[in-house]
Amino acid sequence: MNIPLLHQVRLAGGAFVPYEVLGERCGFGPEGVHRDLDGLEAFGFALERHPYLGVAYRGPAERLCPDQIEFDLGTRRVGRRIAVWNRVTSTNDLAARAAVSRANEGLVVFAEEQTAGRGRRGRSWSAPPRAAILMSVLLFPPEPLADPAWLTALGAVAVSETVSNWVGAAAAIKWPNDVRVGGLKVAGILVERGAGAVIGIGLNVNTAPDDFPAELRRSATSLRALLGSPVDRSELARGLIQRLDSLYEDSLRDGVGVLSAPWRDRSEHFGRFVSVVTPTGPVSGRLDDIDLWAGVRLTAPDGTPRQVVARHILAIEPA
């Protein structure tokens, strides 16, 4: 598939690009241009072709395009290899199998549909086919970056920053692994450890409001619902891979503290009165500080300071 040609058409922003100009820029003649445009249309890209004006870009392919995701990606580790599957049980399962070799570090597995997707604490995760970003990243992080809580934060910060850039609204992190916009869940993170570390991400992208199960329609949303129009999932995937790679490389160089400030700043309940759910019962107060390692610092209604260590926190809810 000729992604450089597609790139040239997309750069025109909807305007027509003459066929001879495409040929000059891509280095082949009229027959080659039309052959490659046929291939792009067959994959699903929306192109408008005019006999005299040339070709104009009208929309992305519905399915994920690995060539488009990889084109000029520029990452150092995450995205070294990209695999797109049509239907799998779970992308985490496939990424975990690849952990037999450290040469597979940075592998990103995508699926258009999962039959046994899962979330935190045994919950399931489902999405209509070709509507979400369902992906898993395989890493072999050194200590202390190998800690599941830190890896969860890596996924949550990368997703929240990417979503914010796309929708133009703040995306917040609800402890420990949900990303929400306006109080509605748009993504979840699931980290699983074995021979390597797998960061699983489920992000609602082009799910229409009516496509959510009835029990989720008041608590979940998608980028399409927020923007009012469908999103190019391949470009979104590119941006997410690039953000994951950048944060991970920064952390390898500068340490785990790289995530502390962005994770705290995006915490949904920072500065508000909350109930911290623990195995021994809830602890309530104003959330004054939140740290990946230390946990949370609260001020009770009577002014008493309280600290809850991270490993004891099951959830943080509005008080």
DSSP code string of 78-103? TTSEEEEESSBS-HHHHHHHGGG-GG
* Number of domains present in the structure of the chain: 3
Domain boundary among 59, 81, 106: 59
Q: Are residues 42 and 130 in the same domain?
A: no
Q: Are residues 17 and 42 in the same domain?
A: yes
The whole-number pLDDT of residue 175 equals 87
H helix and E strand count, the chain:
9, 14
Q: Are residues 243 and 313 in the same domain?
A: no
Q: What is the largest CA-CA distance in the chain?
A: 78
Helix or strand run (H / E) with residue 159: helix 148-167
Helix or strand run (H / E) with residue 56: strand 54-59
The whole-number pLDDT of residue 119 equals 59
Average pLDDT value over all residues in the chain: 92
Where residue 137 sits, what CATH number does that domain have? 3.30.930.10
Q: Side chain identity at 211, as an amino acid letter?
A: D
The whole-number pLDDT of residue 127 equals 79
- The DSSP bridge partners found for residue 198 are 138, 192
DSSP code string of 24-45? HHHT--HHHHHHHHHHHHHHT-
- Which residues of the chain, if any, have pLDDT below 70? 117-126
The whole-number pLDDT of residue 293 equals 78
Does a cis peptide bond (omega within 30 degrees of 0) precede residue 279?
no
* Whole-angstrom distance, CA of residue 265 vs CA of residue 202: 22
Residue 308 belongs to domain spanning: 273-318
The whole-number pLDDT of residue 2 equals 85
CB-based contact 305:269 (threshold 8 Å): no
Residues 6+ apart with CB under 8 A from 27: none
Q: Are residues 72 and 24 in the same domain?
A: no
Q: Are residues 203 and 130 in the same domain?
A: yes
Q: Are residues 37 and 135 in the same domain?
A: no
Q: Are residues 21 and 115 in the same domain?
A: no
The whole-number pLDDT of residue 126 equals 66
Q: Are residues 37 and 79 in the same domain?
A: no
* Whole-angstrom distance, CA of residue 268 vs CA of residue 316: 9
Q: Are residues 115 and 171 in the same domain?
A: yes
Look at strands 178-181 and 281-291 and give their pairing: unpaired
Q: Are residues 150 and 251 in the same domain?
A: yes
* Whole-angstrom distance, CA of residue 241 vs CA of residue 235: 10
Where residue 15 sits, what CATH number does that domain have? 1.10.10.10
Note the pLDDT tens digit of each residue in 34-48: 999 999 999 999 999
Task: Pull the structure tokens for residue 167.
Answer: 């929708």
Q: Are residues 78 and 146 in the same domain?
A: yes
DSSP 166: H
* Whole-angstrom distance, CA of residue 92 vs CA of residue 115: 12
Q: Side chain identity at 128, as an amino acid letter?
A: P
Q: Are residues 110 and 227 in the same domain?
A: yes
